[in-house]
Amino acid sequence: MSTENNSEHLFKNSVKILSDLISFKTISGEDNNSLIDYCDNILKKLGASSFRTFDDEKKRVNLFATIKAKNLSEKKPIILSGHTDVVPVSKGWTTDPFEATIKDNKLYGRGSCDMKGFIACALAFAPIYSKSNLDRDIHFSFTFDEETACQGAPILIEELKKRNIKDGICIVGEPTNMKIIDAHKGCYEYTTHFKGLAGHSSAPHKGVSAVEYASRYVGKLIELREKLKERSPKDSIFDPPHSTLSIGGIFGGIAHNVIADKCHVNWETRPVVKEDAVFLNSELDKYANEILLPEMKKVYPQSSIEKNIIGEIVGFDREHKSDACELISSLTGDNSRQVVSFGTEAGLFQEIGISTVVCGPWIN
């Protein structure tokens, strides 16, 4: 087969696989077993070995598969990493989101770019890996629920640590217009629930207003936000340069004249360094447990403040020398390095010592 035919075949196969992948309705939180079976089957036929990790109900699955090197060298193994979930479908689709539709040389479908496209390309290339004289292992890492604060990847990472797979190069194929991304902030999301005592507004001393305590909590968050600005690292590569904090919503209360017994606050922070998240949480928890809660309990001992972690996506830190970035540079000829404002699984791989880069398809 000529090179041209080869690349044409690769292209057609990528589109075929991508179309199949889009047809699995793997919205975050939902069952992704059949998509994982599909990917695992393709790889197994090519001689790959694999293992799976799950959520508690085994409803959602991570797959880690390996095509072994034939001539093992000093070269680090490569992990091709993609998430299998897609965000829910918004209004405005003119085609079926779960059926790949090609129009004007563009393929439309939920997740076509973010990031089933990358998974399809990795799978289409797998036969080439299995036939060639590989001098390093190639791993395929397909995770669940990345879009909802990376719920799947940490379970896989734990297993990688157990199996001593802590060295290598990881390419996270999120859409970056093929630019080399070597850093992003963390993204930590929380919901804090306040429970007080309902009562009539004419006797405020007999109730515990969850709404009022939640407001003071929000006030503390805003105060701490200013402290985060002061902590901004001098050489920060991010815009804005400091860790940010945002209140997404405050929900509570039923009427003007009723003391609200329940309220919850949705908030998130995007730390530039992990220490900022630790600082913020410890100051906040101290304020809630040592100031607010004792006051609430004085009136109503069953009062509570409960902070739930929705997700804590660790930041992805720039490294002075990165094997992963150098590998991509050698392939694309692009020596630039950029940062992005969205979170990915990159920081999780980096945390266990795997050199990681985010680089993937064009968005438009």
Q: List residues near Zn ion by CB under 5 A.
A: 114-115, 174
Cα 120 from chain centroid? Answer: 19
Catalytic residue among 40, 85, 145, 147: 85
* Residue with smallest beta-carbon separation from Zn ion: 114
Nearer to Zn ion, 150 or 280 (CB): 150
The rounded distance, in Å, linking the Cα atoms of 275 and 232 is 11
Cα 174 from chain centroid? Answer: 10
Minimum Å gap between C-beta 144 and Zn ion is 12
146: annotated active-site residue: yes
Minimum Å gap between C-beta 345 and Zn ion is 9
Nearer to Zn ion, 114 or 189 (CB): 114
Structure tokens at 259: 């003391």
Minimum Å gap between C-beta 146 and Zn ion is 6
Nearer to Zn ion, 114 or 317 (CB): 114
Nearer to Zn ion, 174 or 276 (CB): 174
Minimum Å gap between C-beta 225 and Zn ion is 27
Minimum Å gap between C-beta 100 and Zn ion is 18
159: annotated active-site residue: no
Catalytic residue among 114, 137, 145, 146: 146
Nearer to Zn ion, 100 or 115 (CB): 115
Catalytic residues: 85, 146
